[in-house]
Chain A
Amino acid sequence: LAKTTQPISMDSYEGQEVNITCSHNNIATNDYITWYQQFPSQGPRFIIQGYKTKVTNEVASLFIPADRKSSTLSLPRVSLSDTAVYYCLVGDNSGGSNYKLTFGKGTLLTVNP
């Protein structure tokens, strides 16, 4: 399983754009990159997923360079409610029997007023 490395914590201010980078040097060909958000005492919530280049949805963008050894989650104009732990995961989503997700320690993002 590809291991991910991301910063333990980050600080930001309301209205700023936040970029959280994740390293996954051993990513496999079939692996997708997925980001989850978790608030205290709640289950993680899916944010975005991508395979290569750039993916954008209503809450975030995901940038993946050509070598796919890293990825960057971009949160535009964060608010206090974006304070949470963000997890980067790499896994095979082919639906086959090797499917398994490994959560790292995540990045605690603190948004200050």
Chain B
Amino acid sequence: KAGVTQTPRYLIKTRGQQVTLSCSPISGHRSVSWYQQTPGQGLQFLFEYFSETQRNKGNFPGRFSGRQFSNSRSEMNVSTLELGDSALYLCASSPLIAGGQFEQFFGPGTRLTVL
């Protein structure tokens, strides 16, 4: 089975611009979560989508948004970029077998640099 894929792998933007990152989960996985990782704050949960609905949201401003498509692929968007948005953005998918154990499968991440 192919793993979680994220595109692009690297991105350079300037302040004020917006960016869209893409994530393709493992086939059959319906839950997709997004995380931001920075040296100072570590790994922080952004949001989780399940069956095209946002189920959970972390403590990030409204500039961070996302969506999930019917094929479970997900995108996240950051508008009005700030220098502090420079980070590794990770996507993770999970089969979420109800009542059972779970694990999240992470993609390689998108390294976003804001200049």
Contact = CB atoms under 8 A, between A and B. Distances in A.
Contacts of B4: 43
Interface residues of B, number: 30
B102 A95 contact: yes
A42 B43 CA distance: 12
A34 B45 CA distance: 16
A29 interface: no
Where chain A touches its partner, the secondary structure class is loop
Contacts of B98: 94-95
Contacts of B105: 46
Given A34-B103, A43-B90, A97-B55, A103 B42 contact: yes
Interface string A96-109: 01111111111000
A46 B101 contact: no
Interface residues of A, number: 23
Nearest to B107: A43
A94 B109 contact: no
Contacts of A98: 56
B101 A101 contact: no
Interface of A: 32, 34, 41-46, 49, 87, 93-95, 97-106
Task: Please give me the 8 A-B residue pairs with the lowest Cβ-Cβ distance, nearest first.
Answer: A43-B106, A103-B43, A46-B103, A95-B98, A93-B102, A100-B56, A95-B96, A43-B90
Interface of B: 4, 31, 33, 35, 42-45, 48, 55-56, 58, 88, 90, 92, 96-109, 111
20 contacts: A32-B102, A41-B111, A42-B109, A43-B106, A44-B90, A44-B106, A46-B103, A46-B104, A49-B101, A93-B101, A95-B98, A95-B99, A95-B102, A98-B56, A99-B31, A100-B45, A100-B48, A100-B56, A100-B58, A103-B45
